[in-house]
Amino acid sequence: MILYRAITSDDFNEIQELGKINCTLYRSYRNLENCKNIEMTKKMYNICYQEKNKKDILSFIYGHISGKLVGSAKRSPWISLTSSYESACKYANLNERRGILCFEVEDDIIINDIIDLKTKDILNGAILKLSNGELIKYRDNGIIIPYGEQKDKTRNSKSFTFVNYSKSDSEYLICYNLEPKKYFILNLENQKLFNNRYGKKVPDIIKMILNDEKKEEKVKTK
């Protein structure tokens, strides 16, 4: 399947230099002197990278999608992705955005439901799907709950503030870093060009471009 990320300037620099994008927690820990809360950054880094506590890492999703851990705090272990080109365009036009990262992933690394979450490893590149209300199901079943909340707490997610979010943006999350094998970046100029020329067919054009790159790679390796 094709996924997208509206990249920041930090994302752009990392993908160009390293071939991957790191989460904000990793970046902040590597630059502690500029952190707003050094002790909390150290604590979260220890939970996520040393203890590798999956329960707590999953709980940080709420701070991530609310913006608290990716805004001024800059200490989320998660990276946001989307399967919606329209959503990617929306975020790509915000301040400090450089364009849209377009890439393809294998379907078997996607965590689609509770069963997948038990068998696929979020710490080893599995991508968690949160669109279509999956986040609500995880919360109601006590599987993904806000950090510090009791697992057996009675909850009713029908009025939960993230219910609309998880359905509208076709959201996916990956932990630690994103290292796509094949990708290309649509800068703002090319986004306008593609949108004007191809309209709703842009995702099909992107898929075709990525497939052509895969064919070229196969030829090179023969």
| Rounded Cα–Cα distance for residues 73 and 58 (Å) | 18
Do the beta carbons of residue 65 and residue 164 sit within 8 Å?
Answer: no
pLDDT of residue 95 exceeding 80, the answer is no
Highest mean pLDDT among 24-33, 89-98, 145-154: 24-33
Q: What is the pLDDT of residues 63-82, one digit of tens each?
A: 998 888 888 789 999 999 99
Q: What is the pLDDT at residue 221?
A: 27
Q: 185 versus 160: which is more confidently predicted?
A: 185
pLDDT of residue 35 exceeding 70, the answer is yes
Residue 98 — very low, low, confident or very high, per pLDDT cuts 50/70/90?
confident
Residue 56 — very low, low, confident or very high, per pLDDT cuts 50/70/90?
very high
Beta strand 21-22 with 177-178: parallel, antiparallel or unpaired? antiparallel
Q: What is the pLDDT at residue 68?
A: 85
| Rounded Cα–Cα distance for residues 80 and 35 (Å) | 21
pLDDT of residue 137 exceeding 70, the answer is yes
How does the average pLDDT of the chain come out, rounded? 86
Q: What predicted TM-score, i.e. pTM, was given to this entire model? A: 0.89
Residue 184 bridge partners (DSSP):
102
Q: What is the pLDDT at residue 133?
A: 74
pLDDT of residue 208 exceeding 50, the answer is yes
Q: Give the up-direction half-sphere exposure of residue 96: CA atoms within 13 A in the CB hemisphere.
A: 6
Q: 137 versus 123: which is more confidently predicted?
A: 123
Q: What is the pLDDT at residue 109?
A: 97
Q: What percent of the chain has pLDDT over 90?
A: 63
Average the pLDDT over 92-102 and give the result. Answer: 82
| Rounded Cα–Cα distance for residues 16 and 163 (Å) | 35
Q: What is the pLDDT at residue 32?
A: 94
Helix (H, G, I), strand (E, B) or coil at 171: strand
